[in-house]
Every structure is written in C-alpha cells, then in structure tokens.
Structure 1
Amino acid sequence: MRCIKYSLLWGVVLLVGVVCFPLKAQVHSAIERVDSLLSEGSLAEAATLIDALQEELGDKKQDALLLREIKLSFLQGDPYTALARTSALSKKFLKKEEVRSLLAALLYHSYRFEDLSTLQEAPKGKVKSKGNGYFPKRLLEQAERAERLVESAQLLEVVDSFTVSHLEDLRHASGLSSEVGELSFGTGTEDYRYTTALGFETFTHRIGDDGKNHIFYVKKTASGEILEERELEELHLPGGEYFPILRQDGQSILFASPTGAIDLDLTAQENGDFSEGIGGLDLYMSRRDPHTGKFQVPTLLGMPFNSPSDDLILLYDDFYHVGLLVTTRFARKGFYNCYRFVMSETAPPLPTNDYELKKKYAALRPWRLREQRAQSIAE
C-alpha cells in the first residue's frame, strides 16, 4: 500500500487529503481525473495533480504523465512546447494510435504542414504515416491547402493584442469606433447580432431549415419599417455560417464557417459537413452585387487571417484605419486572442522568401512586426 497526496477543486468545495488505495488502482483513478480536468478546461487543477503524481511516482508511468503534460501545454495555447515534449516519449509509446493522432494535431497547430504532406494513402479513406497510426484524409488535404496559404501569406502589421474570456467583452475592449457598427452576443451560439452604424441593416446567424447555422438579413427604414428580410442563401457553405460583419463600404461581408476542429484526438475530422478551409472556424469574404443586391460566392481568406484554430471575427474600422482579428490561436482553452492591426487595402508581400520565416508571419507568432522584422534580418 502506498499513498498519493494531492489536492483538487471538486465543484465549489476544496478537498485536501491523503487517499490510500492499492497503487495501481489509485494511479489509474488519478490519471482519469487528470483527463477529466483537461477536458473541462480546469488546467490549473490538472497541472497540480500532474505535479503531485510525478513527485510520487518518479519514473513510473512516465509516458502516461508526459502525455498529459503535452496535452496541458497545448490547451494552454502553446503547441510548440507541446510538440517539443513529444521527443521525450518512448518509441513504443509513440506507436499508439492515440499518440500518433496527438502528434499529427500538434504538427498541424505548430504550422508543420509539410511534415503531414508526406503521409501515404491507406485503406478506408485515411492516410498512414511511416510509423503506426492512421489519420483522417481530410487532415492531409487541409495541410496541403495550408501550405499554399503560407506561401501566399500577406504582411499584417499588428500593433496591439489582448485576450477576452467572453465574446461579449469585445463590445467594450475592441477600441474601435462606433462607425464599425454594433456587435451583440448572447449566452448561446444563436444569439449573435450585428447592426450597422446607421441601424438600417442587421445580420444574425441562426439555425436554418437544414439544421445548420446560416446568416439572416433584415433591412429597415429610419422609422423601423422592414424593407427586406431573408436568409442569405447565396452565402451557404457546407459547414454553415457564423458571425457576419458588413464592412463600412456597405458591400463587403465577412463571416466564419467551420472546416472541422483539429483536436488532439482528431475525432472532429472523421464525419460531418465542413467547408473547404484549413481548420476550426475559417474566415470568408463576399461582395454584394450592386445590381441584384445579392452577395457573390464567398472566398476563403488567406493567412494570417486564417489559422489551424478558430478564427471567428474580422472587423475593419475605416474611421481609425485599424482592424481587429478575433481568434483562438495560441489562446488558453476557453479564451480568445484579439489582434489589433493597421489596415491596408492592398496585400503587402512578406519581406522574405524563406518558408520558415513565412510561417512565423502567417501564424502571427511573434505578433509584433518589429520582432518579426528583427528575426528576418538576424536569420
């Protein structure tokens, strides 16, 4: 009999104690608890329990605990550190399908797309690496698309960034002028509403007849009389549409559509209707035909606006000549990173042809332009 000492936050009650069971059963139970905490997003509690287990067990269960540490780093918004830690896993452990799927997701979120493109075809619509483990074919297709977007990535001069835990906080923290219009977020995914600055046009997303989220449009007069009300069917994408924003030119609409989240177990890649993006929610743009009033076929935006993570909202403030990108890239689970950038009507080319440097610009990591330029000069 041995004892493992640890403290956890169970609900709203803090329990600190010494639990004594046969070691094998106790360790199994504790590791399951770590998995549960990671799934819930209770990362601080998960880290505390992992540390306690490592202190108690030493070299025992080293791979299992390291795997949880890797997942923790990823959920804390650092796929690069998580990927680096996989080198310490044993070769035998790396052959497990769960671990191979984890490695594929980490490579993707670390912008190592070219490493996934070498995977070979395997039966049942999946691809197989040189080792063991299978990955959804969709992941390889997205990796090839992402590689092309890295090559054509544009320069984005980010001047500031901040993090929010709720999208509703954007109403007060965006730093944009009222000319952008008004964003409204409720408690559910169907409660989003965007209204133009003059209040004549409103865009919402809600469930359509096909069971997917779509964009609905209402146009009113100054007195509130409804002139037009319809679902924007011309913007339909396989995954649905979310978070519509009309630019101040009155013609360009920006919105997000799901490609399929590239989670640690890749389960979201297996089934479902997804748009042809590069991962998570991807940003699209369409322009309104001035003659018909209908929007044209949406176009997938390039990098750095899109990433392997969720890219939800893109705002342009023509009054202040700045924009705001809201994304979950490199964000702790449950949070959103918001990048404020200088607007440019043209797409400035990157000051390098080096593919590795292009990936840094495309990822906005580091996001400060002067840091990116300093690295470009140094390398």
Structure 2
Amino acid sequence: MKRLVFFVIAFFAFCRIYSQTISEAETFFNNGSYNQALEVYDKLLKSSPNDLMLKYRKARCCILLKKYDVALPLLEEAERRKFVKANYYLYDVYFNLYKFSEAAEAMRKYIELRGETLENPEECQEKIRKAEMGIDMLSRVENIAIADSVKIAKTHFLEAYRLPKELGTLSFYSNMSSYEFGMGIPHRSGSEDPHYSTLVAMGYDLPDLPDLKQSAVVFTSGREDKRIFPLPDENGDIHLSISYKLYDGWSHPTMLSDVLNSSACDNYPFEMADGVTIYFASNGENSIGGYDIFMSRFNGDDYSKPLNIGMPFNSPDNDYMLVIDEMAGIGWFATDRRQHPDTVVVYEFVPNEKRLPLKTEDPDYRRNVAQLIISRKAHFNNAVDKTEVEKVEKNKNEINFRVNDGVLYTQLSDFHSEDAKALYLKLVEVDKRYQTLKILLEGKRREYTFAESYQDKEVIRVEVLEIEAEVRRYAALVDEYILQVRRAEINAIINN
C-alpha cells in the first residue's frame, strides 16, 4: 500500500513538473526566445521520446530558427501520424529546402484535409503560387562563378562593394532631419528639403519611418547629376523615386516609373553606366520570398516590365543590392540566407556575358547551386566556372602589351624596367577611365535621343559635349602613356 501511495505521489509530482516545464517552453516560444524553448523541448523529449506534440512544438522552434533539416523528420512523422497541421508547416520546411514540388503538395493536402474548416484559403493558395514560382526558377538556375564572399554587419554591408566612383556611389540614408531626409541631398537655398516636405504633405513624421531610415539605399550617378532612392507614396507603399541636380539644389523627387512600382517595398537601386538598365530589389508579389532582385530597361517611353533575375541570386530569404562593374568584369549582391538577423553575406561574382543555364540532371546538385551551398570542388566541377574564377584572380598580373612589332608582354614580370612597369600600371588606370567615359557617353547620347522637352535636350547636349571632350583627352593620354611605356622599356633593354 505504501509503495502504491509513493508511486501515485511521484506520478502527480512528475505531471506537475512536466506541465510547468511545458508552460515554461511555451512562454519562451511566445516571447520569441526560440533557442531557450528548443532546449526545454529537447529535455522533455529525452524522457518522452514518442510524444508527438513535443516533436511538433520542437519542429516549430526549428522552423523559426531556420533549422529546416532538423524540423523535416519531426514534421514528416507528425504527418504520417495524421497530425493535420503538420502539412501546413511541412510547406515551410520543404519550401526553404528548395523542395518546391513537395511544398506545393503539402499545402494542397493541408487544404484537402481542412475542407470547409479551412480558415485562410487565400493565404494557402498564395503559398502554392509561390511554390510553383520556385519550381520554375529552380529549373532555370544560372551557372555563375563566385569569386569571393564576405560576411558583414547588415548596417555596414555597402562597405563590401568596390564600385569605381565614375560608375556611381551607394549610400545609406543618414540621420534624418528637416533639411536632409537622410540622403545628403542638400535642400534648395532658402527652402525646406523637398523630401521632408513630401513626407510631411503625406502625413508622415520622420520617426514613423525607422525601417526606411535604417535600410534605404541611395544611388547617385557617376556624374552626380541624379539620385535614385526609395520614398513612400500617398498609400505608404515604398517606391523608387528620382531627383535631378539643378543649379540651385535638387529637383523635387518624382516616382521613377509606375511600371517598376510593386504593391510592397522597392529599394536598393543601381543604374548601369548605359543609363538604361536598372537593378533593384522588391518584396512584392513577384518575389519568391522577402526581397528579390529585379532588372528593367528604359525603352524610350518607359521602363520594361521588371524581370526577376532568378536563382542563385534570389532565394526564399532577402536578396538585394546587385551591382555590376562591366569594365572590371565583376559584380556583387547581398543576401541574408542562412545568416544571423544582424548579418548578411556579400557575394562577388563574375557576370556572364550571356545567361548560362546550369546543366545537370542531379536535383540535389541543382538545389545546392541554387542555394549557393557549394564547396570549391563542387563549384569547380564545371570547367567554365573554374576558368572564370581563375580569370578574376589572374587579371592583376596578366597583361597584353606590345613593346614593338616583335615583342609581346603577357605578364607584369616581363618588364625589364621598373619605370616602364609603373608607367604601364598608370596606363591601365587611364585606359579604364577612358573606357568608362565611352560607356557614359553612349548612355548620355541615348538619354538625348529619348528626351522629350527642348530644355532637357539642351541640358543633356551640354553634358554630351563635356563628356566628348573628356573622351578625347583620355584617348590622347592613353596614346601618350603607350609611347612612354615603350620608350622606357626599350631603353632598359638596350642599356642591359
């Protein structure tokens, strides 16, 4: 009898401790302390390894901590044991593991099992649409060569971009004020800052826009004559705006284009040197998840419909700020996939001259490439990838300089004269500026062709004349440096 009483007391004591521990885990979960909640569920599962509810709750924690591989077997077991809600969360796991077909099937099954009790049919159908987008994007993964990557604080990620000033500058909104709306755009003399006025007129107060302040990026053209940046419209949606430099300040910002506007937030703009192509990020309905990178071109009347540039650039997480330096043959983009909330990874890649589809029948390899989960060996499996990456590393030392009709140098080490080598390096810098100016000139000539008003054409005409003069000056400098390099090197050879 005493033994029975002891076991009864022990049982109720265990139940009390168990319920308290469950309550503690739920409190952690509801407060967003998912790691602490996960620790509690792990402890409970050691004593109750077959408890389906504990496994389900652990899986929920793992999803929010982005530990999808851990959550997958737990939810698959719950689904086999007819736990209806498991299919809803299996969608999230499959989706983030790039198993988009399985994700769509899990959501369809969830809808079927819920039947008339389904509370969120529109949300569920939207999830299926996103999964179908993923299926399509995964079938068209681009094969790009990654040259480097750097993990960096989200608030400083622009420091990883080595963009030449002549191609433009990128900057965050600085501290907002009634004079600067945080972009370093000076207000017109004797008037209030136009951006601030715009916000006030819309009924916004600057403190109401903390996210915009912390994450918005301003692109300033290489000639510092225009800026593209995000601003809220009258409905509170964030769209790309443009402002032009005038004689006494900057023009009032206007929306860049209705064609580019999404129903959500558009940010992180970069305009190519041609003045026609623009890259930006948006988290609207055509994004597979979070921010996706889009591309559009100005066709004379307006911008073309934005094109999602696909994988591996885009993912179910946030991907943004794609920048390309055509002269250097290098590009960058940022992503927070598999990262701590405060950090991002900026990838440096070699842009393909033409889109290069990934050719593989291996679904796991395709998913790995799409997610940028690729080891050096796997990445270099394709000879094109290896060649392109090596090209980036070797560009610093590989040259193509003809000293005379019979002598061609292909390495910096070929030079006999240190003076000639120094002059050659200066020649490279001058020629790079020369090539960039030619690209800028081509872009300005396009702008002139498509300008609508006489006043706009006159402003652009003056700019074209200025750039043409610079092109001629740098062309002459290139020729002069070539002669100086040859003269110094030939003298060194003769004297040796």
> In the alignment, what sits opposite 2:124?
136
Q: Is the 8 A contact 1:86 1:103 kept in 2?
A: yes
Tell me which amino acid in the other structure corresponds to 2:95: Y
Query: CA 1:147/1:22 → structure 2, altered by over 3 Å: closer, same or farther?
Result: same
Cα distance in 2 for residues equivalent to 1:337 and 1:141: 28
Moved more, 326-335 or 343-352: 326-335
Within the candidate set 298, 303, 309, 2:306 is matched to 298
Within the candidate set 144, 158, 172, 2:146 is matched to 158
Cα distance in 2 for residues equivalent to 1:325 and 1:129: 41
Tell me which amino acid in the other structure corresponds to 1:335: T
Give the CA deviation at 1:112: 0.6
Within the candidate set 350, 371, 378, 2:378 is matched to 371
- The secondary structure found in structure 1 opposite 2:239 is strand
Cα distance in 2 for residues equivalent to 1:72 and 1:320: 44
1:188-245 Cα deviation digits (max 9, x unpaired): 3323131323322212212211221111111114x55435731122311233422222
Tell which structure's C-alpha radius of gyration is larger: 2
Cα distance in 2 for residues equivalent to 1:234 and 1:313: 20
> In the alignment, what sits opposite 1:271?
none
1:7-45 Cα deviation digits (max 9, x unpaired): xxxxxxxxxxxxx993244123211133135x3xx5554
Tell me which amino acid in the other structure corresponds to 1:128: E
Within the candidate set 44, 55, 69, 1:66 is matched to 55
Give the CA deviation at 1:103: 0.8
Cα distance in 2 for residues equivalent to 1:176 and 1:370: 29
> In the alignment, what sits opposite 2:94?
107
Cα distance in 2 for residues equivalent to 1:28 and 1:281: 36
> In the alignment, what sits opposite 1:286?
296
Give the CA deviation at 1:277: 3.0
Q: What is the total number of aligned residue pairs between the two structures?
A: 329
Query: TM-score, structure 2 length as denominator?
Result: 0.58
Tell me which amino acid in the other structure corresponds to 2:294: Y
In the alignment, structure 1 residue 181 sits paired with structure 2 residue 169: yes
As a proportion of its length, which structure holds more strand? 1
As a proportion of its length, which structure holds more helix? 2
Cα distance in 2 for residues equivalent to 1:374 and 1:75: 34
Cα distance in 2 for residues equivalent to 1:72 and 1:162: 28
Give the CA deviation at 1:109: 0.7
- The secondary structure found in structure 2 opposite 1:26 is helix
Q: Is the 8 A contact 1:77 1:331 kept in 2?
A: no
> In the alignment, what sits opposite 2:343?
335
Query: CA 1:60/1:90 → structure 2, altered by over 3 Å: closer, same or farther?
Result: farther
> In the alignment, what sits opposite 2:72?
83
Query: TM-score, structure 1 length as denominator?
Result: 0.73
Q: Could you tell me which runs of 5 or more consecutive residues in structure 2 were left unpaired when the two chains were aligned.
A: 1-8, 175-208, 384-496
Query: CA 1:117/1:130 → structure 2, altered by over 3 Å: closer, same or farther?
Result: farther
Give the CA deviation at 1:183: 2.3
Give the CA deviation at 1:325: 1.9
Higher relative contact order (CA 8 A, sep 6+): 1
Query: CA 1:202/1:236 → structure 2, altered by over 3 Å: closer, same or farther?
Result: same
- The secondary structure found in structure 1 opposite 2:368 is helix
Cα distance in 1 for residues equivalent to 2:346 and 2:63: 19
Q: Is the 8 A contact 1:63 1:90 kept in 2?
A: no
Cα distance in 2 for residues equivalent to 1:184 and 1:60: 50
> In the alignment, what sits opposite 1:277?
287
Cα distance in 1 for residues equivalent to 2:57 and 2:147: 35
- The secondary structure found in structure 1 opposite 2:332 is strand
Query: CA 1:73/1:316 → structure 2, altered by over 3 Å: closer, same or farther?
Result: farther
Q: Is the 8 A contact 1:35 1:68 kept in 2?
A: no
Q: Is the 8 A contact 1:153 1:358 kept in 2?
A: yes
> In the alignment, what sits opposite 2:181?
none
Query: CA 1:339/1:66 → structure 2, altered by over 3 Å: closer, same or farther?
Result: farther
- The secondary structure found in structure 2 opposite 1:145 is helix
Cα distance in 1 for residues equivalent to 2:114 and 2:377: 40
Give the CA deviation at 1:76: 4.3
Query: CA 1:297/1:182 → structure 2, altered by over 3 Å: closer, same or farther?
Result: same
Cα distance in 1 for residues equivalent to 2:65 and 2:381: 27
> In the alignment, what sits opposite 2:223?
198
Q: Is the 8 A contact 2:72 2:93 kept in 1?
A: yes
In the alignment, structure 1 residue 29 sits paired with structure 2 residue 16: no
- The secondary structure found in structure 1 opposite 2:367 is helix
1:89-125 Cα deviation digits (max 9, x unpaired): 4744x6142x322111000111111123446868xxx
Cα distance in 1 for residues equivalent to 2:23 and 2:102: 36
